[in-house]
Amino acid sequence: MVQVNGDIKGMVVRLIVTGRVQGVWFRASTRAEALRLGLLGRVKNLANGAVEVIAEGDDRPIEQLILWANKGPLMAEVRDVRVEYLSDTPSYQTFEVIH
């Protein structure tokens, strides 16, 4: 359990998504999915061609985001999603795309 702004949240995860995930609306689609699920965090492109997602929230929505990330948006070709469970991360007010 993680405390965020006085609220207890289920977990915080870091996803590294590889494959054809840049230039295919992956970040914007991840943000839309995370907001739909009620999650906080961020998503950004990495220099190596992967996408990094930090998400915090209740267990079930986090699990749903992980499942979604394995497919991604229509144009994406996800090869792998590495999941790391974090014990400490900055608190977010929303889910944002980092440019």
Return the closest-CA partner of residue 44 out of 28, 56, 33.
Answer: 28
Q: Which of 20, 27, 31, 60 is catalytic?
A: 27
Q: Is 5 a catalytic residue?
A: no
CA distance 73 to 33: 10
Return the closest-CA partner of residue 58 out of 33, 40, 31.
Answer: 40
Q: Is 27 a catalytic residue?
A: yes
Q: Which of 36, 45, 60, 79 is catalytic?
A: 45
DSSP string, 9-49: ESEEEEEEEEEE-SSSSHHHHHHHHHHHHT-EEEEEE-TTS
Point out the residues that are catalytic: 27, 45
